[in-house]
């Protein structure tokens, strides 16, 4: 039996077979969980549906996390399919491309607000919708994906770093609110991964190679490693852990020079 045997998990943010959300969804399925996946728009639907079939996803549907009606519809569908929800993975982030290429100083009000809404506030909105379904199961666990740019100024990460800082603060406050209902909330801060979203970051490959050279393990993080830690945080193996940011980055975050 896997560590997620008999659990119901919703994974929000799968874009393709390179995304960390997909590695997490696949590991959840391998560990025995029933998995639901969401996608945003027709382009991503064509990529996500075959992946959903690969793991036998129970629920597959469209979800724009900036649309409260779509959030409500998604959780209504889950409530009609399952008797509750045990696990929620939030792997959603967005910033305008120019806001990742120009100086942070140049970000405008709209770009700033949009990045914060989709990358950070969406966790709050999803957690609020998940709360009653997790209560039905006697509790639950929520994991979101962050990055070192939340606590350090990483060149070209810009407004996304500010959004991830807000996201990690949301994790702490949500953990405080949801703890009495036995719902845990944690962030997983993964090392640089070659994903659809990272392709928008200027000089990403230079940064990734630098991390490999300077990390204590002298290599890059493997997506499978992030997935396994995420599933551990979602499972009862981490029953006493909440409000934390856990790093899976081959140790890079602890290095000085």
157 is catalytic: yes
Tokens linked to 69: 């009606």
Catalytic residue, chosen from 39, 147, 247, 252, is 147
Which phi-psi region, left, alpha or beta, contains residue 107 (left: φ > 0; alpha: ψ -120 to 50)?
Answer: beta
C-beta separation of 123 from 164 below 8 A: no
Task: Report the DSSP beta bridge partners of residue 39.
Answer: 62
- Which long-range contacts (C-beta less than 8 Å, at least 24 apart) are formed by 104-112? 104/158, 104/159, 104/162, 107/158, 107/159, 111/159, 112/159, 112/162
Q: In 3D, which of 24, 34, 40, 39 has the Cα closest to residue 4?
A: 34
C-beta separation of 25 from 11 below 8 A: yes
Catalytic residue, chosen from 39, 121, 157, 205, is 157
247 is catalytic: no
C-beta separation of 88 from 12 below 8 A: yes
Tokens linked to 131: 């709360």
Task: Report the DSSP beta bridge partners of residue 37.
Answer: 11, 60
- Positions annotated as catalytic residues are 147, 157
């Amino acid at each position: 039996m896997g560590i997620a045997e008999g659990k119901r998990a919703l994974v929000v943010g799968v874009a393709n077979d390179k995304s960390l959300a997909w590695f997490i969804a696949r590991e959840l399925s391998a560990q025995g969980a029933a998995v639901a996946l969401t996608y945003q728009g027709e382009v991503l639907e064509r990529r996500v549906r075959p992946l959903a079939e690969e793991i036998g996803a129970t629920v597959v549907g469209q979800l724009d996390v900036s649309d409260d009606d779509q959030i409500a519809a998604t959780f209504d569908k889950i409530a009609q399919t399952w008797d509750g929800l045990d696990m929620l993975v939030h792997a959603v982030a967005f910033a305008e491309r120019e806001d990742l290429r120009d100086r942070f100083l140049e970000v405008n009000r709209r770009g700033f607000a949009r990045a914060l809404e989709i990358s950070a506030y969406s966790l709050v909105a999803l957690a609020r919708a998940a709360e009653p379904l997790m209560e039905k199961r006697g509790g639950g666990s929520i994991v979101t994906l962050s990055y070192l740019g939340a606590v350090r100024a990483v060149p070209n990460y810009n407004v996304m770093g500010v959004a991830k800082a807000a996201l990690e603060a949301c994790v702490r406050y949500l953990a405080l609110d949801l703890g009495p209902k036995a719902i845990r909330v944690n962030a997983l801060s993964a090392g640089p991964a070659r994903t659809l979203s990272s392709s928008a970051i200027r000089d990403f490959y230079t940064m990734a190679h630098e991390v490999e050279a300077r990390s204590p393990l002298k290599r890059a993080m493997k997506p499978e490693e992030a997935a396994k830690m995420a599933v551990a945080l979602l499972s009862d193996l981490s029953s006493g852990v909440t409000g934390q940011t856990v790093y899976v980055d081959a140790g890079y975050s602890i290095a000085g020079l």
